[in-house]
Amino acid sequence: MTPDDLAQMSREELIQLILAQFEQLAQLKADYEALRLKLEKGKKPPTNSSNSSQPPSRDHKRSLPSDRGKRKHGSPAGHPKHERKFVATPEHIVSVKAETCLSCHTDLRFAEGVLRDVNQITELPPAKAEVIEVRQYEVICPECRRVQVEEPPAGLELVRSFGARLEATVVYYRQEQHIRYERTVKALRDLHGVEISQGGIDKIMQRAGKKAAQEIEPIQERVRQSAVIHSDETGSRVDAQN
């Protein structure tokens, strides 16, 4: 924006521009302070009783003799502390600021605060399945009077009862994690809020197996053409056969 542009603006427009820039400046200042605290946290030495309020009982102890008994689980004494790194752009920012003075009950909602500390918490979003209702219409063309019916997009076929992501989750639980049918039913209900029978899970696995079978020959052909084949002699059973 040039001085000529500013000269052509009205008083109200100039006020709105200044307020917008002030708000932007305040946001940049808050982001800068948060970044500064993140960097300071990353440079801090491991906390102990000599550089913090941590009690001596929580300090790292010297190594015990090897014949003292069973070794405890976890990192050994003196092991460097590893912490999660801060991400540059968190999905949510929660500002925690006092609204009322606990001493004199003064309203602090409009008082300027100074950023004191910052922390990032990794959390999973609520895992709740959603129901998608597909409504298919037929339309009569006003010109030729023919009925036109559009097919649903991939993943929303009318023959489906469960979506592609839900079916992929079932296959992951059963095939990758080897969870039994009854425990898969419980996991889907407890973690995703989905009620599905063992028979429904079995049908999903059968459909997945048919799709996987289509890739057997292409994979075999790629293996035959490979210069080196990585394999071992670990046995497995398919349909009760070695």
Q: Length of the chain, please?
A: 242
> Percent of the chain at pLDDT above 90?
33
Residue 13 sits at φ, ψ, to 5 deg, of -65, -40
Task: Considering only residues 76 and 206, tell me which one the structure prediction assigns the higher pLDDT.
Answer: 206
Beta bridge partners of 241: 238
Structure tokens at 189: 């209900």
Name which of 170, 185, 182, 41 is nearest 118 in CA terms: 41
pLDDT of residue 172: 95
Q: Express each pLDDT in 38-68 by its tens digit.
A: 777 666 666 676 666 667 766 666 665 655 5
Q: Which tokens go with 241?
A: 């056969």
Q: Distance (Å, rounded) from C-alpha 49 to C-alpha 60?
A: 10
Domain spans of the chain, in order of start? 10-42, 159-220
pTM: 0.55
Instruction: Kindly list the distances between the CA atom of residue 220 and the CA atoms of 186, 215, 224, 226, 235, in Å, as whole numbers in the listed order.
Output: 37, 9, 6, 10, 18
